[in-house]
Amino acid sequence: MDVSTKLVVGNWKMNGSLAGNAELLGEVTKSAGLGCEVAVCAPFPYLMQVLQILPPRSGIALGAQNVSEFDDGAYTGEVSARMLSDLGCSYVIVGHSERRSLFHEDDGTVGRKTRAALRAGLLPIVCVGETSAERNDGITLEVVTRQLDAVAAEIDGLDVDQIVLAYEPIWAIGSGLTATAEQVGEVHASIRTWTQRVFGSEVTTKILYGGSVKPGNAAELFAVPNVDGGLIGGASLVARDFLAICHAAAGD
Ligand SMILES: O=C[C@H](O)COP(=O)(O)O
């Protein structure tokens, strides 16, 4: 993967409406050609709408926020990686902390979902990160490494070059608290060491930061070594904020 261009991913979470999305996407379209890669991860019911407003030629990629670990069959309510790929998704977020904490996804589930995404030709954005209690206990790097190892255990033989990693300290998500440049730098350096050891030094993996990224802190965070872009929650719902973050990623 090319890490010379930063990637900005908007994660709308469970927000949106047909009318509101159309308005937002009309503005987001201006992020195309800015000098960074951009993706929008919308709720399942709106994926087709995003694709219609932002087709592949728009230069803005489509992503989903979750995927089944299973391929096909009697799994009511699930959405398979093949379906997402069939629809035109490029990315899928896997193992977001809200999935882990609210929907009981454990490390093994996250690993199997990553495998399902890779097998379908999707680019999984695999989220890792520690709670505030884990940070206070001094086990942040241990927790992140455990989460990464669980993914590695499930993807033997698959194209690891397609994986994007996202470090999201759970205490910084939606809280207005942002990790300091020093905290982000330490974890991203550790993740880079891990990817080189486990994936091989010839594989370059994009490592995103997520957690209260705003126009006011984006440039500082994107300047931290080994930060290859951002996973943006709340600010991705406000067109001018999302565009400002894209400009920061492009180095404007
Ligand atoms: O996926 C995005 C992250 O959870 C960050 O969310 P946030 O920017 O609202 O803190």
Per-residue model confidence (pLDDT) at position 56: 86
Per-residue model confidence (pLDDT) at position 110: 98
Looking at 1.10.340.30, 3.20.20.70, 3.40.1190.20, 3.30.2320.50, the CATH number of the domain 7-250 comes to 3.20.20.70
| Cβ 157 vs Cβ 95: under 8 Å | no
Residue nearest atom 2 in ligand 1 by C-alpha distance: 233
Kindly list the protein residues whose Cβ atom lies closer than 6 A to any atom of ligand 1: 11, 96, 168, 173-174, 210-213, 231-235
Domain ranges in the chain? 7-250
Residue 136 annotated as lining a ligand binding site: no
Residue 119 tokens, joined: 């097998």
* Range 85-88 contact pairs with CB under 8 angstroms and sequence separation of 24 or more: 85/120, 85/121, 85/122, 87/47, 87/48, 87/51, 87/62, 88/51, 88/56, 88/62
Interval between CA 67 and ligand 1 midpoint (Å): 18
Per-residue model confidence (pLDDT) at position 3: 85
**Angstrom distance (rounded) from CA 159 to CA 207:** 16
Identity of residue 243? L
Residue 212 annotated as lining a ligand binding site: yes
Interval between CA 233 and ligand 1 midpoint (Å): 3
State in Å, rounded, how far the first CA of the chain is from the last one: 23
User: Ligand 1, residues 41, 99, 177, 213: which to mutate, most atoms within 8 A of Cβ?
Assistant: 213
Per-residue model confidence (pLDDT) at position 17: 98
Per-residue model confidence (pLDDT) at position 1: 81
Interval between CA 122 and ligand 1 midpoint (Å): 21
Which residues of the chain are modeled with pLDDT < 70?
none
